Structure 1
Amino acid sequence: MLSTRRHWALGLAGLIILLGLWWLGVRLFGGDGLGQLFSPQATFTSLGELLARPELYEHVLVSLKRVLLGLLLALAVGVPLGLLVGASRHLEAATTPAFQFLRMISPLSWMPIAVMLMGVGDSPIYFLLAFAAVWPILLNTAAGVRQLDPRWLQLSRSLSATPFETLRKVILPGVLGHVLTGVRLAIGILWIVLVPCEMLGVSAGLGYYILDTRDRLAYSELMAMVLLIGVLGFALDALARSLYRRRS
């Protein structure tokens, strides 16, 4: 097993290689004009300027709030459904084709319909984010229920535990690891879907800010926003992994 120091060193080396490929790509294909605005030098300069603007943090907080609410909606729907599907083979057989069919529809394909039905604003964004995030949570929760040790349930029944006590003391602790795995996968999907969703006519958020930089022809700022979105997504994934390890 790799030591922690060596693990971090290899990860840093990979990032340095990625940065080098970025610089080389701009040098080879960017020319001496517009392409240089996407170079690492211009991007990091613009990123430093952006980080000094209070308005940037307002957009970041708006996006993080949308991700959090979308995730909570997905948990509110996905965990109960996953518990039911995992506990009943008949329900699993009846719902699996429908769930797999819906899961394979890109959430972004619902964008025009969501806007027409819900109007412009946060409501269609929350719907699209929840729709995107619910499937990994639901499926992982159901898998966790199916993998519970039957002896735990037998012991619960032998102790005359009520269904609610069995759910709270046996089932939920037993599936928590699977739920957290689903949450980590859901966060990755949410973060990918968020930016195009925030191009639905809202006036705040990272997706909106990217459109704003494009309209202002501030291309180095646009690239800086792309870089910032990657950093924030990486941090969210690291947080989800930390929660999973702490539970384990």
Structure 2
Amino acid sequence: MEILKKVFYPTASFVFIFGLWEILSRLGVFANNIMPAPSEIWVALKDVARSGVLAQNAWASLYRVFAGFLIATTLAIPMGLIIGSKKYLHTTFNPLIQIIRTISPISWIPLAILWFGIGNQPAIFIIFITAFFPILLSTMLAVKNVDPILIKVAENFGATGNKLLFKIILPAIFPYIIIGLRVSLGIAWVIVVAAEMVGMTSGLGYMILDARNFLRTDLIIAGMLVIGLIGFALDSMLEYFEKRAKAAWGLKQQ
């Protein structure tokens, strides 16, 4: 019954919204060149899907996001563990981290193009900057808030080194880290679309910009819907990973 509710209620809301949108469009409430009907958007979506343009641009965006996100995760988690566990390192680097993290990732685009030129590298760098700081800060905060009594008890039972890290510390900080990962991946997916509108010749952001140049409102909205669906799929993927990891460590599921 619970699964039925999770499927039925969202489906009903989508049917209602898109159905109302279709009716209002056909009644002429929305101008066709500004807000085309969902049926017209569906036709545009099928056309770009059949031509291969949609898949090509979607894979280009996903590649940039995963490359930047993977680099950010690989660097941010170890750095967060080290800085968060040493008070003097936290005191030394935290002000600098707080200053840099408040700089909008979009403002890095001109420098990224100057440093890396045109291509995938600027977008990957922007995604790296976007994802790095949420992951770093969530890891630092998590390590800083680990109960020292928990570590002391584990050490008294002979847990040291890797055993202490993988059996005690990582399970304790995992809920914080996964929040940082989900937030950073969501923001990265939003930012890559904006980055692809500047100096790119592929990606969903470029596809939307190109559709705007040809006044294809139907294709613009189709691209936006695809971005939303992929973003939802990415978050669901991390949510699934979170549940599996919590089950493996015996952590409470929310």
| TM bracket (short chain) | 0.7 to 0.9
Cα contact 1:120–1:200 (8 A) shared by 2: no
| Structure 2 equivalent of residue 13 of structure 1 | 12
Worse overlay, 48-57 or 64-73 = 48-57
Worse overlay, 151-160 or 114-123 = 151-160
Q: Label 1:105 to 1:217 Cα distance change in 2 as closer, same or farther (>3 A).
A: same
Alpha-carbon separation, structure 2, partners of 1:126 and 1:120: 11
Out of 75, 97, 108, the position equivalent to 2:73 is 75
Cα contact 1:59–1:209 (8 A) shared by 2: yes
Aligned-pair distance for 1:93? 2.7
Q: Label 1:17 to 1:93 Cα distance change in 2 as closer, same or farther (>3 A).
A: farther
Question: Does 1:181 find its partner at 2:173?
Answer: no
Alpha-carbon separation, structure 2, partners of 1:246 and 1:25: 44
Alpha-carbon separation, structure 1, partners of 2:19 and 2:95: 46
Cα contact 1:198–1:206 (8 A) shared by 2: yes
| Structure 2 equivalent of residue 98 of structure 1 | 96
Aligned-pair distance for 1:20? 4.9
Aligned-pair distance for 1:9? 2.3
Question: Unmatched 5+ residue regions in structure 2?
Answer: 247-254
Cα contact 1:120–1:201 (8 A) shared by 2: yes
| Structure 1 equivalent of residue 30 of structure 2 | 30
| Matched ranges for 1:1-248 at <5 A | 3-20=2-19, 22-23=21-22, 30-31=30-31, 33-36=32-35, 38-158=36-156, 163-248=161-246
State the AA in 2 paired with 1:242. Answer: Y
Cα contact 1:177–1:247 (8 A) shared by 2: no
SS at match of 1:52: helix
Alpha-carbon separation, structure 1, partners of 2:20 and 2:133: 35
Cα contact 1:181–1:244 (8 A) shared by 2: no
Alpha-carbon separation, structure 2, partners of 1:92 and 1:80: 14
SS at match of 1:8: helix
- TM-score, length basis structure 2: 0.85
Aligned-pair distance for 1:11? 2.1
User: Could you report, residue by residue, the CA deviation over 1:169-201 in whole angstroms, capped at 9, with x for unpaired residues?
Assistant: 432343233222211111110111011111232
Cα contact 2:34–2:217 (8 A) shared by 1: no
Cα contact 2:146–2:172 (8 A) shared by 1: yes
User: Could you report, residue by residue, the CA deviation over 1:136-189 in whole angstroms, capped at 9, with x for unpaired residues?
Assistant: 211211222123232442245445655455334432343233222211111110
User: Could you report, residue by residue, the CA deviation over 1:76-128 in whole angstroms, capped at 9, with x for unpaired residues?
Assistant: 22112211222122322332222222222110011112112221221111111
Question: Unmatched 5+ residue regions in structure 1?
Answer: none
Aligned residues: 245
State the AA in 2 paired with 1:51. Answer: A
Worse overlay, 196-205 or 168-177 = 168-177
Over the residues paired in the alignment, what is the CA RMSD in angstroms?
Answer: 2.4
Cα contact 1:108–1:128 (8 A) shared by 2: yes
State the AA in 1 paired with 2:152. Answer: Q
User: Could you report, residue by residue, the CA deviation over 1:192-220 in whole angstroms, capped at 9, with x for unpaired residues?
Assistant: 10111112322221112112222233321
SS at match of 1:30: coil
State the AA in 1 paired with 2:115. Answer: L
